[in-house]
Structure 1
Amino acid sequence: MTQSTSAEQLAIEVRELSFTYTQGAEATRLTAEQTLEDIDLLLERGSRCLLIGANGSWLILERGRDVAGKSTLLRILAGKKLTKTKCAKILGQDVFQHPPRSVVYLGTEWANNPVIKSDIGVAHFLDSVGGYRHPERRDMLLNLLDVDLDWRMHQISDGERRRVQLCMGLMGQWDVLLLDEVTVDLDVLVRSELLAFLIKESEERGATIVYATHIFDGLQSFPTHICHLQLGRTPTPLISWPIKQSSAEVKHSHSDLLEIALEWLTEDRDMRRKMEKEKGKKSRGARSKTDTRDMKSFYEKYDYSAGK
């Protein structure tokens, strides 16, 4: 974003945002676990931003705390998590006090909702969430995502259910789209056509997209910006993509998005290991004396002859 960009041109304005989880069953024993610290994210309308950071399997998870912060940030922007700091705006409106209606958040938890897995036809389901109001976009998305209206929600696979979710979320005239790992269940063709559709939406309608993913195949030409969210912080300023050799970001002048992602994820892993060591946690690769992954130790530990 340039210095001349006015607040009116911003689709997303996050300044010095921090978020802390409070844990503990008793009021006198509450503990605070900070997840986001001084996050800045300023995106103009029509931007497509990739959030890059460690995934759940790499995190120091304590009672479900999202240490990387990508999902937490997206949920805050969607108005699903409240923070005391008044520094999160979408389309100029506070996401808590005056949330804009043209924001769509699509996360992975949707497909696991028992209601979504009930015995209901896809056609009836889409109509129940307003599909009849957007027949042209609905039908276009049904074709793009290869969704069959005769499917029953309780009978289809996770990948098929994910396509129904995307159709449901995208068929309205949204202005800001927040995607949290929702393409993980899609096949290569559907994902490619979905990304092409999202690029068209941003270029023709000025829609803004923030997309957290770990699948970088086919994303080289997708983003206009990339953001490194490292264990709840943004150590690198928002980077315009593709990177120009003349820019201040020349230290990240790789032409390949995957190379930058791997560099950042390696930094995240090293930092996570350092944090685990400081907390006295054993290295994940270290074996204990009771380790049973080799055959000899396994059969010495468990005597299968007993009871015969």
Structure 2
Amino acid sequence: MASSIPDQSLAPSIDVKNLTYTFPDRSCGLISVSLSLPPRSRTLLIGANGAGKTTLLRLLSGKRLAPSGTISISGLDPFKDGLEGVTYLGLEWVLNPIVRTDIGVRELLKSVGGDYYPERKDELVQVLDIDLDWRMHAVSDGERRRVQLAMGLIRPWRILLLDEITVDLDLLSRSNFLAFLKKETEERQCTIVYATHILDNLAGWPSHLVHMSLGKVKEWGPMEGFEISGRGETGNSRLGELVLGWLKDDLRERGPRNRGVGSEGKAYYSQSFGGYGAEDIEKMKD
């Protein structure tokens, strides 16, 4: 009898169907979100602050429980099932206090598996231009971020979820990092979703775009479905012009931020109601 367990050696697909997610204050973080991203895709998740990007990424990573049947990662529920090879790099990871202490880069990389994956470690050190003799309390924010990226990516992953984690990188470091990620999807069985507001060097990087606003997906699809070739009159890439137009339309639709609408600042609540991420509802009362 053939096994019904999905093969987790292959690149994962991501399918979201009619996903609605509610925060503890009973406001909606996501509303009827549906999208489908194929294996080995590189997806840019675009939207203004509070659009729902972080909430969606945390649900995809399995950090929160989504309603049954709304999220499938190659046939598995990321919260309930044994989904392998998920790396989520977001706010908690960025703010990890250990990377500001008097500790060396060599020790940090060893602690996250650098000795088990020496070739990946050496490649990331080169790509991110890291000095192994740095002490973490004495480096700049950009240098610290490069070390954090190496720490997060040393272990091979199948699905990588990035929540605006390149903001401190200089232009060259970010370009090299994006090239590394693109090569990963071309050479390994892996899939990436990347939420960012910085579009430099990105016009030729993504395979798919997802545009979110006010907790909804307004449009999504492969890059060939969007007109982004060439450069716009402002000097932005056509990708930048497209996204700028989206955000202007979203602002007109949303109006001023004085009505309590949107999910900005709520994505890291520890719980949500009604099985929509309420892992331990009693903690909300503390």
SS in 2 for 1:146: coil
Deviations 1:128-180 (A, max 9, x none): 11111100010110011011111122222221111111111212221111011
Q: Which one of 120, 127, 130 corresponds to residue 144 of structure 1? A: 127
- Which residue number in structure 2 is paired with residue 253 of structure 1? 227
Report the counterpart of residue 293 of structure 1 in structure 2.
Answer: none
Q: Does the aligned pair in 2 maintain the 1:54–1:230 contact within 8 Å?
A: yes
1:52 corresponding residue in structure 2: 46
Which residue is equivalent to 2:75?
92
- AA at the equivalent of 2:64: K
1:38 paired residue among 32, 37, 60: 32
Q: Tell me the equivalent position of 2:279.
A: none
SS at match of 1:242: helix
Equivalent positions of 1:183-262 (< 5 A) are: 183-236=166-219, 238-243=220-225, 252-255=226-229, 256-262=238-244
Q: Could you say which residue in structure 1 is the equivalent of 2:136?
A: 153
Residue 111 of structure 1 contacts residue 161 of structure 1 at CA under 8 Å; is this kept in 2? no
Deviation at 1:118, TM superposition (A): 2.1
Tell me the residue number matched to 1:11: 13
- State the 1:262 CA deviation: 0.7
Q: Which has the higher contact order (CA 8 A, sep 6+)?
A: 2
In 2 relative to 1, CA 125–167 (structure 1 residues): closer, same or farther, beyond 3 Å? same
Pick which of 13-22 and 151-160 moved more.
Answer: 151-160
Local SS of the residue matching 1:131: coil
The Cα shift of 1:119 comes to 2.0
Classify 1:72/1:47 alpha carbon distance in 2 versus 1 (closer, same or farther; 3 Å).
same
Partner amino acid for 1:259?
A: E
The Cα shift of 1:275 comes to 7.1
SS in 1 for 2:40: coil
The residue number in structure 1 matching 2:280 is: none
Structure 1 residues 236-274: Cα deviation after superposition (integer angstroms, max 9, x where no partner): 2x221133xxxxxxxx53431111101111112112216
- Is residue 2:253 matched to residue 1:271? yes
Residues 157-166 or 82-91, more deviating: 82-91
Q: 1:120 to 1:231 in 2, by over 3 A?
A: same
Tell me the distance in 1 between the aligned counterparts of 2:257 and 2:165: 29
1:141 and 1:114 mapped to 2: Cα distance?
A: 22
Assess, with a 3 A threshold, how the Cα gap between structure 1 residues 99 and 16 changes in structure 2: closer, same or farther: farther
Change (3 A) 1:241 1:17: same
Pairwise CA distance, 1:83: 2.6
Q: How many residues align?
A: 245
Residues in 2 aligned to 1:33 and 1:280: alpha-carbon distance in whole angstroms: 9
CA distance in 2, matches of 1:186, 1:151: 17
TM-score (norm 1): 0.74
Which residue, 129, 133, 137 being the options, matches 2:112?
129
Indicate the SS of the match to 1:220: coil
Kindly indicate whether the alpha-carbon contact (under 8 Å) linking 2:106 and 2:132 is maintained by their aligned counterparts in 1.
yes
* Residues 193-251 of structure 1: per-residue CA shift (max 9 Å, x gap): 11111111111213211010111111110011101011110122x221133xxxxxxxx
Identity of aligned residues (%): 49
Q: Does 71-80 or 152-161 show the bigger shift?
A: 152-161
Which of 1 and 2 has greater Rg? 1
Matches of 1:87 and 1:99 in 2, distance apart?
17
Q: TM-score, normalised by structure 2?
A: 0.80
Q: Give yes or no for the alignment of 1:116 onto 2:90.
A: no
Secondary structure of the equivalent of 1:100? coil
Match of 2:167, SS?
Answer: coil
**Inter-partner Cα distance in structure 2 for 1:265 and 1:150:** 43
- For the aligned residues, what is the CA RMSD? 2.1
Distance in 1 (CA, whole Å) between partners of 2:260 and 2:71 is: 36
Q: Distance in 1 between matches of 2:198 and 2:253?
A: 22
Unaligned runs of 5+ in 1: 1-6, 24-31, 56-66, 244-251, 282-308
